[in-house]
Amino acid sequence: MSSSLPTLFILAIVLALMACAWFFTPKGPQQTLIRTSFMLSLACCYLMWMVTYLAQVHPLERPRKAFVPE
């Protein structure tokens, strides 16, 4: 049965990854850049995946094809 729960699991994983990025980026002149980039990429990619997944969990439309006899 398709449900929306996987999005919450993945959200938890992504938040954990973002926390890792925050704490484990090595200090240096590029720390802010690397940290921001990682966290932003994770957030953007998750957001887009979540939207795509949720849109298909309980779809209101079903695909319809005109039957072409082979």
Partner 1 sequence: MGDEYPSLFRSEQMSLVQLIVPTEVAHDTIAELGELGNVEFKDLNPDVNPFQRSYVGEIRRVDEMARRVRFFSSQIEKDKDKVPIRPLYDSAPLLTVGPRAAHTMDELDVKLAEHETRLIQMNDSYQLLSERTKELVEARHVLRETAVFFERASGYQQDVRSSFDDSSAPLLQHDDREQQYSSSNIQFDLEFVAGTIERSRLPTFERVLWRVLRGNLYMNHTDIQEPFVDPTTGVETRKNVFIIFAHGDTLLAKIRKVAESMGATLYPIDANADKRAESMREVTARLEDLQVVLFNTGINRRAELVTIGESLASWQDVVRKEKLIYETLNLLIYDVRRKTLIAEGWCPTRDIPMIQVALRHATEESGTNVPPILHDLKTNKTPPTFNRTNRFTEGFQTIMDAYGIASYQEVNPGLFAVITFPFLFAVMFGDIGHGFITFMSAAIMILLERRLLKADLGEIFGMFFFGRYIILMMGLFSMYTGLLYNDIFSKSLHLFASGWSWPEDPGNQTVTAIPNGHTYIFGLDPGWHGADNALLFTNSYKMKMSIVLGVVHMTFALCLQVPNHLRFKRYTDIWTNFVPQMIFLQSIFGYLVVCIIYKWTIDWETSPTGPPSLLNMLISMFLSPGTVDPDTQLYRGQSTVQVILLGLAFVCVPWMLIAKPYLEWKEMQKIHGQGYIGLGTDEAPRDISDTVMEGEEEGNGRAVVEAMEEEHEQHDFGEVVIHQVIHTIEFCLGCISHTASYLRLWALSLAHAQLSEVLWTMTIEGVLGMSGVFGIIAILLMGVVWFILTVGILCVMEGLSAFLHALRLHWVEANSKHYEAGGYEFAPLSFASLDEN
Classify residue 27 by its DSSP letter: P
Q: Is 59 in the site for partner 1 (CB under 8 A)?
A: yes
Give pairs for 34-40: CB < 8 Å, separation 24+. Answer: none
Taking CB under 8 A as the criterion, the residue among 23, 24, 58, 70 binding partner 1 is 58
Please state the closest distance from residue 12 (CB atom) to partner 1, in A: 17
Nearer to partner 1, 2 or 16 (CB): 2
Gyration radius of the chain over CA positions: 19
Q: Is 66 in the site for partner 1 (CB under 8 A)?
A: yes
Q: Is 61 in the site for partner 1 (CB under 8 A)?
A: yes
**Residue 60, Cα to own-chain centre: how many angstroms?**
22
